[in-house]
Every structure is written in C-alpha cells, then in structure tokens.
C-alpha cells in the first residue's frame, strides 16, 4: 500500500511539473484567472534577491562563582547484620 501511495505522489508531481512547463496561452501573457498561470508566477524569484542580514539579540547570563558550593560527601554504609531486624 505504501509503495502505491509513493508511486501515485510521484506521478502527480511529475504531471504537475509537465503541465506547468507546457502551459501557454495564445496571446502569450499570464492570466490571473488561470490557476496554472498564477502557480507559474508564484514560483518565480528575482535574478538578484536582496538578502540583508538581520540583527539578532541573545540573552547572556553570567554566573558568579565567588561562593563555591560544598562538595557532597560519599557515605558508605556498613551492614554488619545480614538480616533485617524482627518486626
């Protein structure tokens, strides 16, 4: 089933690309009432798009390390009795 779905989607994409490439009107103009013409016009990008860098502000946090935290002690517990106390 998954293979059929992938094949169907690929066929629809190739059909869409072929239609948009071969689509022309007799007067050679783009018509705004034609959905294929609108689709073709929306994909076009200018030759030199202007890409201006955007300023990004990042928050910076500084941690004051003047007071050091105490290191945890390792406590090893010794069990001298192998059994639990009676209840």
For the stretch 48-84, pLDDT in tens is 667 777 888 888 877 776 667 777 777 766 667 677 7
Domain containing 11 equals: 2-42
Q: If residue 42 lies in a helix (H) or strand (E), which one and from where to where? A: helix 35-43
| pLDDT band at residue 86 under the 50/70/90 scheme | confident
- In a domain, residue 27? The reply is yes
- In a domain, residue 10? The reply is yes
pLDDT value for 34:
83
- In a domain, residue 34? The reply is yes
- In a domain, residue 69? The reply is no
- In a domain, residue 28? The reply is yes
Reported as a single tens digit per residue, the pLDDT across 8-56 is 999 888 887 777 677 778 887 878 788 888 877 776 666 666 777 788 8
Domain count across the chain = 1
- In a domain, residue 50? The reply is no
- In a domain, residue 53? The reply is no
pLDDT value for 36:
80
Angstrom distance (rounded) from CA 36 to CA 16? 9
Residue-wise burial string across 20-39, b where 16 or more C-beta atoms lie within 10 A, e elsewhere:
eeeeeeeeeeeeeeeebbee
Q: Are 37 and 30 in contact (CB under 8 A)?
A: yes
């Amino acid at each position: 089933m998954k293979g059929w779905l992938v094949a169907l989607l690929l066929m629809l994409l190739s059909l869409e690309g072929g239609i948009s490439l071969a689509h022309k009107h007799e007067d050679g103009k783009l018509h705004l009432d034609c959905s294929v013409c609108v689709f073709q016009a929306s994909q076009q990008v200018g030759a030199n798009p202007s890409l201006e860098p955007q300023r990004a502000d990042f928050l910076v946090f500084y941690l004051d390390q003047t007071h050091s935290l105490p290191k945890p002690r390792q406590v090893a517990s010794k069990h001298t009795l192998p059994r639990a106390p009676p209840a």
